[in-house]
Amino acid sequence: MTSYTAPAKDIQFTLETVCDWSSINALPAFEEATHDLMTAVIEEAAKLSANVIAPLNRIGDLEGSKLVDGTVKTPAGFKEAYRQYVDGGWNGLSFNPEWGGQGLPFSLALAVQETWTAANMAFSLCPMLTQGAIEALDHHGSDDLKAIYLEKLVSGEWTGTMNLTEPQAGSDVGALKTRAEPNGDGSWKISGQKIFITWGDHEMTENIVHLVLARTPGAPSGSKGISMFVVPKFLVNEDGSLGKRNDVKCVSLEHKLGIHASPTCVLQFGDEGGAIGWMVGDENRGMRNMFTMMNHARVNVGLQGVAIAERAYQQALSYARERVQSADLMQPNKGGVPIIRHADVRRMLMTMKASTEAVRALAYYNAAAVDRAHGCESDEDRAAAQGLADLLTPVTKAYATDLGVEVTSLAIQVYGGMGYIEETGVAQHFRDARIAPIYEGTNGIQAMDLVGRKLSMAGGAHWRNLFQNIRDFVADLPGSGDLGAIAPYLEDGIEALQNAAVWLSGNDASEARDTAGGAAPFLRMFGAVTGAWLLAVEAVAASKRLEDDAEDAAFLTAKIKTARFFAEQILPPATALLGPITRGSEMLYALDEEDFSA
């Protein structure tokens, strides 16, 4: 397996151009986030990811986490690497300084998160879940709960988890059965079982803070009757020290396709009378609280698609440069050449590179909208930014993770038969990537969220504003050269995307199946068109820097060529999805259930 080097140059370029870093830095909330600081943070994160976290990726895959005497033991080196991560202050980058955070933009924190995730996806899941717990407690927790837990969580000294799923419920969270009974002193007794709890137990920190969804006595059925509780692994004394072990334990670990080092736990609450917990926010408002965590997590999961694609691309590129096989078609008598000289390998590598850079731009653009929603001074600007962030979140989560799987699959294909052999290590990326389209809401759920909720927000103003921005950008592209070549493909793409959005928005409740049938291809089209546009934004910026005799002409030229490749080779198939989107659901239900086995 090749080493990992964070693509610091491309990360910084995307922050500068797609996120418009100077305008983020101009917001009062982020005035300390200068360009020099951004660059320094990325460079230091790159060092830790390459030198400390990445070398553990293969070890973690081979060893996995294990349940030993009721406690999860992580692979060799993980505990020490996590300590370096905490000691470096990395966990608190974007969080409130009141609790020890640094108050930096989410877009910068996301860029840093990319380096951890590409280096070692299983490792990165632990801080990612903690960050979601911080978001929920900071937004909805009482002052007392914040005082007890936030400083330790922000520093990373304690970690956090999300406890939603139960064996009988799956994605239908409203069907959960975990119970919460009042103790009469403000605390609650929690009993029930949760499954698929990422990093639900481990020995890397002295405490783990579980955020648990449960039902209180007399609560309404379904999702309207769910409350959220904070349930620590160890109870916390009044002086902040740790007390006795709470009544929560890991009873088993899932045996998974990938991310073997990340312990996916079955947690049992209340076997010995009830785990002690405290309500977060109002009773029966747990789903609202959890969505605070999930929306944050969904952008981070989309980033996992970016990161794992980057890691797989780097490994495939290295192999393609070294592997000698067959003659160059233009020089058939010269003997074997590195396979990177062959057209089909070039097609795969260019697809990998362009796809990875497109979803990186999409995820960072989404994160920048979150920053503006928090940092803009006017109510109107904040609302517009929040609307854009909400619109893009399901697209980022689903499109980026789908492409992450596709890119890691292509990496195996570049290797050929050697890619199917575990010793080369490239198969691990494919196995690790496959979970991302499933958790934090399957990609089908993301597509339904996009067409069922996000398109109708503010009467469709958010997607119409975005589409108009794309149209205005295309109108300003030059008529010739690489940038001119991109224009007609973007024109076709945005036209098809708008037609699809109008068609879906016009469906009523009686056409719900038609809307559902078109949801996934619509999200695919949405991601491809937006990604193509953002790559073109980068290409225009690169072209201007070349005109100004900027350094690193090779990098800038590659940005332009990559944007053109995406527009010409990847965008057209997505544009062609307009037909399937608008054909409705007739053929999806053309077979009776028994006919599927005919």
Asked if 98 is an active-site residue, the reply is no
- The Cβ of residue 329 has, within 10 Å, a number of other Cβ atoms equal to 10
57-to-50, 113, 261, 301 alpha-carbon distances in Å = 11, 15, 8, 18
C-alpha span between 541 and 129 (Å, rounded): 35
DSSP state of 483: H
Rounded Cα distance, 292 and 281, in Å:
12
* Count of Cβ atoms closer than 10 Å to residue 67 Cβ: 16
| Spatial contact of 362 and 534, defined as CB atoms under 8 Å apart | yes
CA Rg, the chain, in Å?
Answer: 24
| Active-site option among 440, 551, 586, 594 | 440
DSSP letters, 101-141, are: -----HHHHHHHHHHHHHH-HHHHHHHHHHHHHHHHHHHH-
Question: Exposed/middle/buried for 221, CB within 10 Å: 0-12, 13-18, 19+?
Answer: exposed
Instruction: Report the distance separating Cα 325 and Cα 357, nearest Å.
Output: 28
381 with 34: CB under 8 angstroms?
Answer: no
Angle at 159 between CA 156 and CA 160, to 5 degrees: 130
Confirm if 208 and 231 have CB atoms less than 8 A apart.
Answer: no
Backbone dihedral region for residue 335 (phi beyond 0: left; psi -120 to 50: alpha; all else: beta): left
Distance CA 447, CA 454 (A): 10
| Contact status, residue 205 vs residue 213, Cβ threshold 8 Å | no
Site of tokens 């959220």: 228
Catalytic residues: 440
